[in-house]
Structure 1
């Protein structure tokens, strides 16, 4: 996935910050297994409100984010080169797509979430978070948080391909939770928090589908004030990269990586296959209505892919 080089990065769209804190996963009380356990709960958008402080061990002096995108992020060419710039321009692309499509498809107005890049430790409306948490969306402050070092973790520890769309999928998934928040659906995860057919799994799969909706439009919809989309046309390899990331964070794959047996009763995000299929349901249709996981009878077979 390649951004058009001339796209301009909005230096005010994303803030950055976070203190050195504990960093990494060292204070989780279990090394790699502790990290995997936390990822199962929080990775890619699980509601962190009840667990962030419990697992991070962050002190109260965590540095807050400061305004401004990193100074080296100016254009699409920088986004193609640097991961932090890629996150910022992906955010701008997501804003453009959802500003255009949400009201058109749902009659709900889109409002932008805040976005913060951080490392180490940061205070959030859902508690204190460390880099060990991975990316997450906090509904209390309507903010998506990203430590860009996670993307290398996604490749090294969880086996994602490492291509650009694998990274953009993560950002788009967190924005999917913001869309759920705007539509009033995000709370369903907490009412039914665990199991293969649970509200939590349906919420995560829907966010995957919304990520696919973004991908459908990202290389077609012109960026505001231009006649070019943010992205050059997506290739089959790009889509494989996105699917690789979706597969890497399936509950079954994470359980296997931790040395545990696959136990669907403990799932919170869905299987690798389900996550891939719901991303594709959004990508192939570009329709919010194709992402109705809550009424799907069989999560392994999204209706949009079986018609």
Structure 2
């Protein structure tokens, strides 16, 4: 995130519909204090809570896999290939009038073991990777480094996510023109389609149609989205680069598109619609500190100005951000930032937010160790903004203490972020900022999608979706979707 000089017109429509929330004041009941709140459904499916993973009664896959072992990682990977093959054996005839052809070759490898020649290189060159090789019609995976890290950090369904994605590339190769894929297709379009195909596959699992896996729509999908966040591109990359896979925001968008719609919709992803919404971009020349600025009194002052500008159209008294320890006297305590209804302030713990706003330690992520950094400056600013928009909602008479309030809050933070991506606001987004918001949303105690008492919506899928809806569609969508 960076500041910019000069103020101009705000993007039309950010808060002109926020007042409509008043009509919905008190329409929704409250939940048990201290407990995560449950969204009504997840793309039409009920919110479920159970351990996700391989079914105890799952059949033994009858697949030939070169160099396979009896490790848990290989068992999960091979079951994933068998399962996603079953999925596409249904989907290709149903949506594309085409018979499914199994992948010809499967390879499990450990990059620390003797090299195996594959796809014009060797397995030693493919550490921390999984890939599809079109010339050999081969899907391969690193069972020695990548898969153990994914399973340990995010659970077994992270392995299924990665293999489902790579199999999506095999499907593109089979569909060809039916998916708009040829030699000139950019990498980012192929990757968005493959992420979308993965989402459609996970919808099939969530509906209980898989013989091999089960996934809950709360904790299970949370783990899937967290693994997709992990395999995001670095901040500062361009979507035009060869090999671009997308930001976490872009990748979760594509996954959710597939989950909410169908594999046929995924095949409709093309360069035009990717260019219209993709967020992956290089740093601008004026970006300092790789897009991160310090969280201090000066930058919080800029944040206050930015929020006041963005929400001026609500025509309510704007909350004042004060550094007072992060809790409200005799009121909400959601440190490091709390909205205090009694005096319409956002009480922050500046020192704690400064720690949260430290840059992400990407190397620590890949080592599988705790980061010495934080979640980034935008994660800290977004937490403050989430409490600020509580004040805006209170001003128009909307409820603040139910699941809809949490999703509406995240949506309004997304709408504010959408303003920062255009001209005219004191602050502007820099590369990687939206991913920092995604990182915050996937934390167990996310404030971005929490009500005034800090109770987060249980489903990470719903949290991320609400931010995306606000960012792409503006505040009118927040009222329409999360009344």
With the length of structure 1 as denominator, give the TM-score of the two structures. 0.63
Name the structure, 1 or 2, with higher relative contact order (CA <8 Å, separation 6+): 2
1:189-208 deviations in Å (ceiling 9; x for gaps): 7525xxxxxx2101101100
- Say whether 1:16 aligns with 2:66: yes
- Say whether 1:284 aligns with 2:260: yes
Q: Which of 132, 136, 141 lines up with 1:137 in the alignment?
A: 132
Q: Which of 224, 227, 232 lines up with 2:214 in the alignment?
A: 232
Contact 2:151 2:159 in 1 (8 A): no
**Residue correspondences, number:** 223
Change (3 A) 1:99 1:262: closer
Higher mean C-alpha displacement, 230-239 vs 1-10: 230-239
Contact 2:134 2:170 in 1 (8 A): yes
Unaligned runs of 5+ in 2: 1-51, 280-464, 478-483
Change (3 A) 1:243 1:125: same
Aligned residue in 2 for 1:183 = 175
CA distance in 2, matches of 1:183, 1:162: 31
Q: Which of 137, 147, 168 lines up with 2:142 in the alignment?
A: 147
Contact 2:107 2:138 in 1 (8 A): yes
Change (3 A) 1:218 1:85: same
Contact 2:109 2:142 in 1 (8 A): yes
1:215-263 deviations in Å (ceiling 9; x for gaps): 111243645xxxxx32234231111111112222222xx2x4xxxx444
Q: Which of 98, 114, 118 lines up with 2:88 in the alignment?
A: 98
* Partner SS for 1:246: helix
Aligned residue in 2 for 1:299 = 277
In our comparison, the structure showing a higher alpha carbon Rg is 2
Change (3 A) 1:233 1:187: closer
Give the deviation of 1:124 after TM superposition: 2.3
* Partner SS for 1:144: strand
Contact 1:278 1:291 in 2 (8 A): no
CA distance in 2, matches of 1:189, 1:247: 28
Change (3 A) 1:221 1:110: farther
- Say whether 1:202 aligns with 2:196: no
Aligned residue in 2 for 1:116 = 107
* Partner SS for 2:198: helix
Unaligned runs of 5+ in 1: 18-68, 74-81, 193-198, 224-228
Runs of 4+ in 1 over 6 A off after TM superposition: none
Contact 1:208 1:275 in 2 (8 A): yes
Change (3 A) 1:187 1:233: closer
Higher mean C-alpha displacement, 170-179 vs 240-249: 240-249
C-alpha root-mean-square deviation of aligned residues, in Å? 3.1
Change (3 A) 1:248 1:168: same
CA distance in 2, matches of 1:154, 1:232: 18
Aligned residue in 2 for 1:31 = none
Aligned residue in 2 for 1:241 = 223
With the length of structure 2 as denominator, give the TM-score of the two structures. 0.42
CA distance in 1, matches of 2:256, 2:137: 26
Change (3 A) 1:93 1:217: same
CA distance in 1, matches of 2:212, 2:142: 23
CA distance in 2, matches of 1:122, 1:187: 33
